[in-house]
Structure 1
Amino acid sequence: MDGGTAVLSERAYSEAIGGRIPAYLATLYLPAPLPREGRIALWSPDGTPLPEPDGSSGTITELTVVRRHGATVRRRQVPALTLPLMDALPLLANARHDAAAHPATVCWGAAALHALRLAARGRLLPGLTPSGHDAWRAGPLEPDDIAHLRAVAAALPAEGHAVPLPGEGPLRLPEPEALVRSFLDAVADTLPRTPAAPHTGGRPFAAREPQPLPGAHDWAAEVAAGMDAGVRISLRLDLSAYAVFDAGDDSGSRAAGAAVVQVHSLADPTLVTDAAALWAGEADTAFGPRARVDAALAVRRAA
């Protein structure tokens, strides 16, 4: 097969999209600057040839992957079938419960089902890409959603994230959790963009083509605040520390409880710390540099 891209045969494409991914093919997600333009790639880790291209659906392209080479790893060029997300979603959903599917395909199938369930629950937020174009993302996520995402990422084999990151120096692969999260956002950015959507609510957040929104940065930040950016606070009723609740008599009975202010990250709902630890600089750095400011504002709003 010559370099560049080629069109996959109708027979092979319909076999995949119509039912199941062949067991010898592993699945990769290829993110894009515009989330909805990300693609799913199917490739053969054992070198089994892909079907000869001769039809008009799907594309075969050369893909750079990292493969084991003795005691080290090296880049290799392999042919891969790439599909747009909308076409790949039913394929991946079926693969989740296919006992013969490649483990990487099963994991991306689980990620696809997770993304579809989030969309079905209405967990979609509008925002902007770094270049200022319209994009939906998955969110806000509950702790169970984050836990599911991490479980899928932890199970993802190397074949499922084998495309190396750009740059000089040692070979580096994408971090699975970040890649799965990017996939959830890409699915969220794909599903609302039906053919009729631009005719009902305008082109931003409805059309598949990039829609620049140069004046919407403040609006996007306001949408994110309190939803999936910044922090929220809660009170934990602490009834365990006798030194705090000692009533002062010899009986050792407790007469009151302590309400401890806790801070929760909205970007990662599983990240929580006491406000005192945050102000003392003892909290996880994943809270980010604005956490104390955001927490102070949240306390002020709650007062």
Structure 2
Amino acid sequence: MPAPTTGDRSVMADSNATGLDAKSGYSRVDSQPDVAMVLAGMDATATWPSVRYLRAWEHERLTPGPGAEVLDVGSGLGDIAIALAKEVTPGGRVVGLDASAAMIEVAERRAAGAGVEVGFRIADAMNLPEADSSFDVCRSERVLQWLPDPARAVAEMVRVLRPGGRLCLTDTDWFTLTIDLPDVGAISAFREAIWQLRGAPAAVGSRLLNLCRDAGVVELEATAATHIWTDWKPDTEYAPAGIFPIAPIVRQMIAADVLDPVLGERFIEQLLQAARDDRFFMSVGMFAVFGRRPG
């Protein structure tokens, strides 16, 4: 997303009006000031090597085939639901649920273009509009981190699985975020501000295994992947690929009184300098858990 610069500071660094609200994020996509930017971020994230690895790991274990009935909770732009719809034909079905009407609209258009049928509809992950024991397979990717009660959502997904049904959950743990900057104190303050702004669900990735244990899921397996960014051009790119614009998020944290203004501005300054000096490094951990409903 190219943009002009102002003097020696980029528009991306100086603007607070990016059209994105960091606190609500993907929990309320349709109320974001710039919905198109949020949707573009979803497409960018899908290209991450870490996401591709975790999706391949998931697919090996869910093994949907002809006749399978599959539920995708938080189906987003529909790419996985569409791929699964091709695999369960003939005789199967895929249902994609998401809280965003904008996401559902794009997903339906893409499914039509792919020539497959998916039952996309708006729903609340913590109160699934599906009958008990109605699916063979359920998946959810990068959804729980945006919910106030991830445990309730996991229990709901287990409820709609048939006995022996297969479940896979994938999510990020933003408290694993690492950034290589000179000022360790500024980095620590930024991480603490994530907790203050987003709360415990932001770290749900590392809780997935025990959430599944608490929901009675058995035959559990777990894996992880680290996504790494080593390049960002802040004078022509709003943010590293798949991430909300960082400087405006930091200023939202400052405005919300969860981040000291001096530390926040120092964090922005050093982050931009690292990127311009070709010394940018940032990483975050993602986790996935597979298991079965007891049967």
Higher helix share: 2
Give the alignment's TM-score, normalised by structure 2. 0.25
Q: Which one scores higher on RCO, CA 8 angstroms, separation ≥ 6?
A: 2
Give the alignment's TM-score, normalised by structure 1. 0.25
